[in-house]
Amino acid sequence: MTALFRHLRGILVFLGFTVNTIFWFVPILLLAVVKLVVPITSFRRSITRILMAMGEHWISVNSSILQTAGSIDWQSRGLGNLKKDNWYLVMVNHQTWVDILVLQQVFNRRIPFLKFFIKQQLFWFPLLGIAWWALDMPFMKRFSKSYLAKNPHMKGKDFETTRRACEKFRHTPTSVINFVEGTRFSAEKREKRKSPYRYLLPPRSGGFAIAISSMGDFFSAILDVTMVYPEGAARFWDMCCGGHVPVIIDVRERPIDDWLLAGDYEEDREFRRRVHRWLGEIWQEKDELIQQVLDESRIR
């Protein structure tokens, strides 16, 4: 009976997410269409602010649903100096797709609405794909090495497309989130990529470089976010069913050094190496921080 009630609660929570998504999807889509067809810059910026407010309400209701679903223990630190009218580049390690829900909960209304890079194929994801487009999420189209070998004229086109998507953020305070590892962490992926870290995959600097080159002079700071799940990466269904989900979020504000703004990532090989080294040093600190948090959790 206990298992039955857990799954029943999970179904009800999932239905709550679905109803909330549909409720906000309709007005968000309608306003996005209006914004698309009316070519008045000031009007479009006003619509953008309304859309971001709707997105924040969407997240607030989702967070309330999660918090009433079960024993979710979210501990965050380093949020004291954040401002809602700044531009931020949020740099995060990636454990599970639940990360997005956690980050939205932690940062909602503390910083501008989070925009995250999305694979172009996900535009066709039911409801959410269109909603992400309406909320100005930057869609990325990445070409494989084999494709570029056959079509060398397409080199750099993926960067150019994503850069254009980021340009629209210059007019409204925005937070751009980048999962620098490129995919969720697993022990198998760690071995495959020969990662030098215990709890992280090697950082990939492409998306980071695009954001910096497009908006670096606008960003107020880099938010270096480390997420730790002391009992293992959380699963969405477990959260819906009321499972105990402890997660610790450490936020560290980093300045954007002048050298990051001055380089050409696509053409300057030495600059690319410097960016890789810089990210590698941050990832080493992050790996040590995760070990420290896990050790503290075991002591408790």
- Joined tokens for residue 143: 């070409």
- Joined tokens for residue 14: 């999932």
3-state SS class at 283: helix
Least confident window among 173-177, 212-216, 254-258, 273-277: 212-216
The pLDDT confidence band at residue 163, using thresholds 50, 70 and 90, is low
pLDDT of residue 238: 86
- Joined tokens for residue 5: 């009630």
139-140 and 72-77 beta bridge pairing: unpaired
pLDDT of residue 236: 87
- pLDDT tens across 28-55, in order? 888 888 888 888 888 888 888 898 899 8
Structural domains of the chain ordered from first start: 2-299 (3.40.1130)
pLDDT of residue 189: 94
Cβ atoms 65, 16 nearer than 8 A: yes
The pLDDT confidence band at residue 242, using thresholds 50, 70 and 90, is confident
Cβ atoms 88, 106 nearer than 8 A: no
The pLDDT confidence band at residue 185, using thresholds 50, 70 and 90, is very high
245-254 and 221-228 beta bridge pairing: antiparallel
pLDDT of residue 276: 92
pLDDT of residue 199: 95
CA angle 120, 146, 123 (to 5 degrees): 5
pLDDT of residue 289: 95
Cβ atoms 108, 79 nearer than 8 A: no
- pLDDT tens across 214-223, in order? 777 888 899 9
- Joined tokens for residue 229: 């799940």
- pLDDT tens across 258-281, in order? 898 888 887 888 998 999 999 999
The pLDDT confidence band at residue 227, using thresholds 50, 70 and 90, is very high
3-state SS class at 250: strand
Cβ atoms 97, 165 nearer than 8 A: no
Helix (H) or strand (E) holding 72: strand 72-77
DSSP assignment of 90-154, as one string?
A: EEE--S-THHHHHHHHHHBTTBSPEEE-EEGGGGGSTTHHHHHHHTTPPEE-PPPHHHHHH-GGG
Cβ atoms 90, 176 nearer than 8 A: yes
pLDDT of residue 248: 93
